[in-house]
Amino acid sequence: ERSSYFRNLSTKTRQILIENNSEIAGTLNSILVMREINALNNMTFITSCTTIYGDDVIKKSYHLTTRLESNGIFVKLMILTLAFSTNCSIVIPHYTENRMTSSSALSVFHIECILVTMFWKYLIYHYGFNGAVQSFNYLIKCVLDIINCANEMRNTYHENLIDTLVEETKRSLITEN
């Protein structure tokens, strides 16, 4: 919502982006936050998450947080890029009534190109060309692993929470206009 790119899109396009990309962008952000605050070393956090999601999710979360790119700025740029993807899910979303128009998809693609270019230049600045290629490849692999884990560990309780969040966000976008 803070991005001018996001605010300049139509309400319908913003809703579609939230529906299609909130899961992966939110999951990647959660993994980053868990790593940054060292949540997986907090027994209260682990106990609560185990109660809600099960032990397997905690084990996979630990694995993903340890593998995540150490530079948080790179991860945040990747989250922003994924948030503006026309669809970064490997499954067909269950919100099939919402499809982007060609002009909306082109607008989103243009934003995504700007963000990827900015991200790429930042990587080259920090790592040089070869290091940028390796770092970007590593981040893409991480994102694909996260998508795969998210699809393997479907949790009805979590899906209901996310569905409620998506619907509330859509309603707030409608009332905003």
* pLDDT at residue number 20: 81
Predicted pLDDT at 93 = 52
Global pTM reads 0.76
> Measuring CA to CA, which residue among 102, 93, 13, 138 is closest to residue 3?
13
Show pLDDT as tens, one digit a residue, over the chain (177 residues).
678 888 888 888 888 888 888 888 888 999 999 999 999 999 999 999 888 888 888 888 888 899 888 889 999 999 999 888 876 665 555 555 557 777 888 888 899 999 999 999 999 999 999 999 999 999 889 888 888 887 777 666 667 777 888 888 888 878 876
Tokens of 20: 């299609």
pLDDT score of 124: 96
What's the token pair of residue 123? 């990587």
Q: Identify whether the C-beta of residue 50 lies closer than 8 Å to the C-beta of residue 58.
A: yes
Q: What is the pLDDT of residue 39?
A: 94
Q: Where are the alpha helices (DSSP H) in 37-54?
A: 43-53
* Confidence at residue 3, expressed as pLDDT on a 0 to 100 scale: 80
| Residue partners of 5: CB distance under 8 A and separation at least 6 | 84, 111, 114
Task: Return the pLDDT at 92.
Answer: 54
Q: Are 77 and 116 in contact (CB under 8 A)?
A: no
- Strands annotated E in 6-56: none
